[in-house]
C-alpha cells in the first residue's frame, strides 16, 4: 500500500517560525519596551522562515511569503488602531501562518 505523505507536517515548521517572529517580536517589545529587541526577534525569525520557504517551495514562493511577512508587520500597526494591539498581531499572524501552510503544502504535494 502506498504511503500518503503528510503535507501539513512539512508545512508546519515555516508557519510556526513566522508566527513566532510576529507574536514574539511584539511580545518582546511590549514586555521590555525595547523596539530594537523586538525587531531582532522579528528579523531572525523572518530570515529563518524565508530560508525554510525557499528550501521547500522555491524562490518565487519564498519571496511572496517574505513580502507577506513584512507587509503583515507593517499592516498590524494601522490595524491595531482599529481593533487593538494584540488582536491585530494575532490577525496578521493568522494570515501569514495560513498562507505559509497553504503554499508549503501545495509545494509538497507537487513533489
* 76, 27 contact by CB (below 8 A): no
pLDDT tens digits, the chain, 111 residues: what are they?
445 455 545 556 899 999 999 999 999 999 999 999 999 999 999 999 999 999 999 999 999 999 999 999 999 999 999 999 999 999 999 999 999 999 988 887 776
Going from N- to C-terminal start, the domains of the chain cover 12-110
Residue 98 cell numbers, joined: 495560513
Identify the pLDDT of residue 7: 52
Identify the pLDDT of residue 11: 54
* 49, 100 contact by CB (below 8 A): yes
Amino acid at each position: 500500500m502506498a504511503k500518503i505523505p503528510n503535507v501539513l507536517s512539512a508545512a508546519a515548521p515555516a508557519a510556526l517560525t513566522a508566527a513566532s517572529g510576529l507574536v514574539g517580536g511584539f511580545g518582546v517589545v511590549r514586555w521590555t519596551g525595547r523596539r530594537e529587541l523586538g525587531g531582532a526577534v522579528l528579523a531572525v525569525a523572518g530570515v529563518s522562515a524565508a530560508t525554510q520557504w525557499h528550501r521547500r517551495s522555491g524562490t518565487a514562493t519564498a519571496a511572496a511569503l517574505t513580502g507577506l511577512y513584512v507587509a503583515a508587520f507593517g499592516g498590524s500597526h494601522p490595524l491595531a488602531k482599529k481593533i487593538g494591539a494584540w488582536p491585530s498581531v494575532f490577525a496578521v499572524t493568522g494570515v501569514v501562518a495560513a498562507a505559509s501552510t497553504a503554499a508549503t503544502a501545495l509545494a509538497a504535494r507537487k513533489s
